[in-house]
Amino acid sequence: MELLDGKLVSEKIKLEIAEEAAQFLASTGRKPHLTAILVGNDGGSETYVASKMKNCEKVGFQSSLVRYDNTVTEAELLNKIREINADTGVDGLIVQLPLPKHIDPEKVTETIDYRKDVDGFHPINLGRMVRNLPCFIPATPYGILLMLQAYHIDTTGKHCVVVGRSNIVGTPMSILMARNANPGNCTVTLTHSKTRDLKEQVLQADIVIAAIGKKNFITADMVKPGAIIIDVGINRETSTQTKSGYKLYGDVDFEHVAPKASYITPVPGGVGLMTIVGLLKNTLASAKGEIY
């Protein structure tokens, strides 16, 4: 079993991004600029946004954080997004999810200018992705592709089973793994909570991508020997054993699945770190005008 080390790979890619960002600054007189909007004070969201801002600084990007409390109206938020869309000094805009119940996340996503949609959630980016056209790929799936590339894992002809059908990870991942590209060229099965014979489906997989959001959902009896396991899950539980007061678990029962796998991502230290890299690469591409 070989560990797919997100820390190692992400640090290497961030050095490459920093070098490109320095060249961009030298040639244009400005830094690539990412703006994030955070609504409310959800603990997980606070952590994710802080990490994104810190990583921007690390690679030489400018970053801005716009904060609102939970009482912000949908209209106010959408107006702010339109204002940032019009700001030529901003290359990428992300709105951290989840949002309060009175704000429609679909409206928010569709209001973001698709040319600044570095999270890759806009219908135009998703549509272009399906057609294998240049676009912003959703950050987590993009990070997974970069991880597979870094370890020179040949996915061609393999059976990939994706567990979870969210618009953020599962559905785009299934499309990307089926595309005529590398990584890609897989036969893909997209499964979810309503799949009847889920265990049997996962047992057939050469590559399992677990993104269902349930702690230790994928168990050893669901995985065939030698499978490649990509664990997207980040499930937080309160814990007295850690300084932060919580512990992170993946969607895969790592302890029992790892001995059967040929490759596996840990949680933490796996896909989460690669998601940030996907976001940074999208922001740099936006600044350089490489996609739109």
In contact, 163 and 192? CB cutoff 8 Å: yes
In contact, 80 and 100? CB cutoff 8 Å: no
Rg of the chain (C-alpha set): 19
* Residue 3, beta-bridge partner list: 264
Q: How far is 264 from 181, CA to CA, in rounded Å?
A: 22
Q: How far is 258 from 73, CA to CA, in rounded Å?
A: 46
Q: How far is 15 from 222, CA to CA, in rounded Å?
A: 38
Tell me: cis bond preceding 32? Omega within 30 of 0 counts.
no
Q: What is the dihedral of CA 107, 110, 111, 113, to 10 degrees?
A: 170
Length, in residues, of the chain: 292
Amino acid at 130: V
Tokens coding 50: 């802080």
Active site residues: 52, 96, 119
* Residue appearing with tokens 């889920």: 198
In contact, 105 and 131? CB cutoff 8 Å: no
Amino acid at 233: G
Beta-strand relationship, 207-210 and 159-163: parallel
Q: How far is 76 from 154, CA to CA, in rounded Å?
A: 47
